[in-house]
Amino acid sequence: MDLSRRDFTRIGAVSLAASLSPTLVAQSAPGRKIGYCIIGLGRISDLFMAGVQSSPNSRVVALVSGHPEKAARYAEKYGIPASSIYNYQNMDAIRSNPAIDAVYIGLPNSMHAEYTIRSARAGKHVLCEKPMATTVAEGEQMIATCRDANVKLMIAYRCHYETTHQRVVKLLRSGALGKINLIQSAFGFSCDGNDWRVKKALAGHGPLFDVGIYCLNACRYLTGEEPSQISAYAFSDPSDPRFTEVEESVTWTMKFPSGALASCATTFGGQMEGYFRVYTNRGWLEVSPAFGYDGLHLRAEYLPEGGPFTTLDEPNPEKSPYHFTLEANHFSTCVLENRTPKSPGEEGLRDMVYLTQILRSAGIPA
Percent of the chain with pLDDT over 90: 91
Which whole number is the average pLDDT over 322-327? 98
pLDDT computed for residue 6 by the predictor: 42
Q: Give the strand pairing for 249-255 and 229-235.
A: antiparallel
Give per-residue pLDDT as tens, 287-306: 999 999 999 999 999 999 99
Nearest CA-CA partner of 232 in 134, 349, 366: 366
The reported pLDDT for the residue numbered 31 is 80
Between CA 325 and CA 209 the distance in angstroms is 24
Beta bridge partners of 35: 59
Residues known to be catalytic: 130, 214
- Given a cut of 50, is residue 16 above it in pLDDT? no
pLDDT of 8: 40
* pLDDT at 15 exceeding the cut of 50: no
Spell out the CATH class of 160-318. alpha beta
Residue-range domain boundaries for the chain: 5-156+323-344, 160-318
Strand partners for 49:
none
Q: What is the pLDDT of residue 30?
A: 63
How far apart are the C-alpha atoms of 268 and 189, rounded to whole Å?
5
Query: Looking at residues 26-42, what average pLDDT do you find?
Result: 84
Element (H, E) at 128: strand 125-128
Q: What is the mean pLDDT of residues 114-120?
A: 98
Residue 29 has a pLDDT of 58
pTM of the model: 0.92
Mean pLDDT of 328-349: 98
% of the chain at pLDDT higher than 70: 92
User: Can you identify the CATH homologous superfamily of domain 5-156+323-344?
Assistant: NAD(P)-binding Rossmann-like Domain (3.40.50.720)
Model pLDDT for residues 203-240, shown as the tens digit of each residue: 999 999 999 999 999 999 999 999 999 999 999 999 99
Mean pLDDT of 156-169: 98
Residue 182 pLDDT grade (very low, low, confident, very high; cuts 50, 70, 90): very high
Q: Which residue has the higher pLDDT, 5 or 302?
A: 302
- The DSSP-derived string for 36-74 is EEEE--SHHHHHHHHHHTT-SSEEEEEEE-S-HHHHHHH
